[in-house]
Amino acid sequence: MKIIQHALFSLFVVGACYAQQLPLATKDPLIYKGCVDSACALEISFASIGSGIDGTCYVKIEHYLQKKQLKYTAKSIGREGETRLCILQMPQSKKHKHQIIKDLRKILSQGQWVSMNVP
């Protein structure tokens, strides 16, 4: 009986570890591989180090997403305005996807404490 309990506990722990994998760093300091929310086609995270998020960059990103008519959700993830934008669907064309990522990266490079998670 104890062997079965230990085996089940081990499976639970291993399963929990795989479920909680965080995005991995890439060569580009603004881009991470893997989304926190599996429903997102792309995520943009706004962090804070004590003075709130970069509001100017946030507004620019929102305007860009609205201009491109990309559906997204915003989720508050902290006390100082930290937010994660989840782009729900990207264009089917690889060319358009790459252009959107390139455009967003350009906007993010002007901000502070912002990053993008790509699947």
Q: Where are the domains of the chain?
A: 22-118
The CATH class given to the 22-118 domain equals alpha beta
pTM to 2 decimal places: 0.77
CB 48 within 8 A of CB 80: yes
d(CA 86, CA 88): 6
Query: pLDDT tens for residues 58-105?
Result: 999 999 999 999 999 999 998 888 999 999 999 889 999 999 999 999
pLDDT the model gives residue 6: 42
Cβ atoms 100, 63 nearer than 8 A: no
- Residue 8 scores a pLDDT above 60: no
Count, residues in the chain: 119
Return the higher-pLDDT residue of 52 and 22: 52
Task: Provide, rounded to the nearest whole percent, the portion of the chain with pLDDT above 90.
Answer: 61
